[in-house]
């Protein structure tokens, strides 16, 4: 019989339950899926360039699969409806890796060996993928890491949530969810979002950057027109680059930070850093005493909803965004094990240890609950 202390510990940590109830050969996959290592699991360090290769592979393979489905598979066949979503998800996942991992960590100077190479890669990514010019992003992002800027008008998180999404504090949680659902399908919101991206990429102070962005985007459209494949280009490339990536960005940013109490925001400091972030992990605890049906439902959830969340929204080290804010630039290629080790050590130098949140939608709901409780003027 399982000791009571161990049983309580497992109940508090779904990943420990997975390690205790599922075979060892499944643990590496579950570690990737949840971004949480099993207790005592050895780390497997990765080189930064492996994330670049993964992103390129996902984008190229996903675009190719989507184009193949559009060109060769009839829309009335089952194969089309399997291949096209798979291709779009793969492309979106690769674009998310470029955005969340490579572009982001280039701004911290930790992807390539020199500052110049990180800056060159960042500028290239921002031009080709319609992101804000790398130099402007880097400046804003460094401010975002300051406890004196977080949740102010100068903060990129506040600018996105309040300025672009129009999600305000002191609004009911139900109203915030309604607003979020409307944003996901609103042509006006996506047009505003895309316009902001185009201005940041094609109307930057860097003429060469602007020309490269316009030439790449315009060249793809011209190629589609010349080869009578514009519909394929639009669906296979521009759909994931624009609407799908923007949907993923909204979900990701809304779970990255949580609004603390007004007095914590006013005091600033490391207490704010601790309470403003939490780990967000795809998954849930496996059934304790359930039968075959319970296990089937659990696996169905893990291999559909949670897998989609990991591939589409919480890509790369996004689940461990709290580790990044506490230890910016440190051990990011081994994010899951590094965060777990820091948690086990009590997170030295910070007044609070890490907090875990399981499930994307639960994490966003917790953030909306915090916004509902906060005074309206506390967020921007």
Q: What is the mean pLDDT of residues 214-224?
A: 97
The whole-angstrom separation of Cα 78 and Cα 140 is: 46
Over the Cα atoms of the chain, what is R_g?
21
pLDDT by residue (tens digit) across 131-147? 999 999 999 999 999 98
The pLDDT score that the predictor gives to residue 298 is 97
* pTM score, whole prediction: 0.93
Give the pLDDT of residue 45.
Answer: 86
Residue 92 to residue 315: CA distance in whole angstroms: 10
pLDDT given at position 75 = 85
Average pLDDT, rounded, for the chain = 93
Distance between CA atoms of 36 and 17, rounded to whole angstroms? 12
Average pLDDT over residues 344-367: 95
Six-digit token pair at 333?
């290629």
> HSE of 52 in the Cβ direction (CA atoms, 13 Å)?
14
Cβ neighbours of 168 (radius 10 Å): 18
Q: Of 229, 220, 339, 234, which is closest to residue 278 (Cα–Cα)? A: 339
The confidence score (pLDDT) of residue 380 equals 65
Q: Do residues 332 and 219 make contact, with C-beta atoms less than 8 angstroms apart? A: no
pLDDT tens readout for residues 178-205:
999 999 999 999 999 999 999 999 999 9
pLDDT > 70 fraction of the chain, expressed in percent and rounded: 97
CA dist., res. 159 & res. 164, Å (int): 7
Would you call 73 exposed, middle or buried from its count of C-beta atoms within 10 A (0-12, 13-18, 19+)?
middle
């Amino acid at each position: 019989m399982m000791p009571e202390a161990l049983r309580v510990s497992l109940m508090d940590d779904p990943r420990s339950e997975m390690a205790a109830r599922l075979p060892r050969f499944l643990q590496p996959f579950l570690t990737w899926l949840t971004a949480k290592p099993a207790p005592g699991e050895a780390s497997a360090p990765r080189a930064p360039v492996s994330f670049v290769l993964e992103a390129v592979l996902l984008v190229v393979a996903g675009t190719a699969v989507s184009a193949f489905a559009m060109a060769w598979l009839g829309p009335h066949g089952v194969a089309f409806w399997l291949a096209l979503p798979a291709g779009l998800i793969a492309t979106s996942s690769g674009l998310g890796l470029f955005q969340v991992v490579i572009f982001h960590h280039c701004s911290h100077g930790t992807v390539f060996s020199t500052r110049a190479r990180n800056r060159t890669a960042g500028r290239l990514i921002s031009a080709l993928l319609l992101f804000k010019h790398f130099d402007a992003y880097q400046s804003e992002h460094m401010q975002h890491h300051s406890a004196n800027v977080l949740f102010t008008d100068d903060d990129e998180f506040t600018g996105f949530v309040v300025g672009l999404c129009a999600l305000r504090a002191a609004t009911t949680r139900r109203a915030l969810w309604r607003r979020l659902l409307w944003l996901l399908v609103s042509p006006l919101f996506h047009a505003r979002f895309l316009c902001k991206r185009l201005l940041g990429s094609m109307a930057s102070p860097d003429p060469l950057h602007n020309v490269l962005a316009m030439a790449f985007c315009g060249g793809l459209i011209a190629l589609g027109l010349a080869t009578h494949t514009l519909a394929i280009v639009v669906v296979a490339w521009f759909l994931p680059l624009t609407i799908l990536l923007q949907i993923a960005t909204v979900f990701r940013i809304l779970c990255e930070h949580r609004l603390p109490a007004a007095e914590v925001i006013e005091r600033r400091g490391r207490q704010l850093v601790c309470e403003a972030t939490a780990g967000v992990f795809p998954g849930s605890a496996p059934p304790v005493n359930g039968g075959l049906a319970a296990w089937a439902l659990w696996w169905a959830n893990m291999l559909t909803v949670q897998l989609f969340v990991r591939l589409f929204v919480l890509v790369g080290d996004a689940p461990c965004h709290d580790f990044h804010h506490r230890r910016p630039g440190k051990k990011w290629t081994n994010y899951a094990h590094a965060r777990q080790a820091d948690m086990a050590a009590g997170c030295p130098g910070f007044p609070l240890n890490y907090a875990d949140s399981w499930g994307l939608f639960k994490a966003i709901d917790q953030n909306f609950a915090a916004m509902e409780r906060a005074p309206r003027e506390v967020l921007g």
